[in-house]
Amino acid sequence: NQGGWQRYLFTAIGIAAVVFIIHLLRRHAGQRLFCWALALIMGGAIGNVIDRLLYGHVIDFLDFHLAGWGHFPAFNVADSAITLGAILFIVDELRRVNKH
């Protein structure tokens, strides 16, 4: 939630990530799970970039408290997509390693 250079730095990183992911999607179009993982990560990155451009920061609106366990960090749907994409990316890589 910074209005200075951080806003522009993280926006630029998000845009660069999207451009790189599009490049990877074109190169690996035949690998379905890999492409799903990249698409989820890219969708999350785009969502966070939109928040930064419109509001100057990413809006986290999912906030959970577990009884007796404390507070879970707040997150949003874009964060969830990035996390799921990263999990799928790891699963894809483990499947590839186990094949060879």
Interatomic CA distance for residues 57 and 8, integer angstroms: 10
Are the C-beta atoms of 43 and 57 separated by less than 8 Å? no
Are the C-beta atoms of 21 and 41 separated by less than 8 Å? yes
Closest by Cα among 94, 99, 98, 100 to 34: 94
Instruction: State the catalytic residues.
Output: 60, 79
Instruction: Write down the residue that tokens 């186990």 correspond to.
Output: 98
Are the C-beta atoms of 82 and 41 separated by less than 8 Å? yes
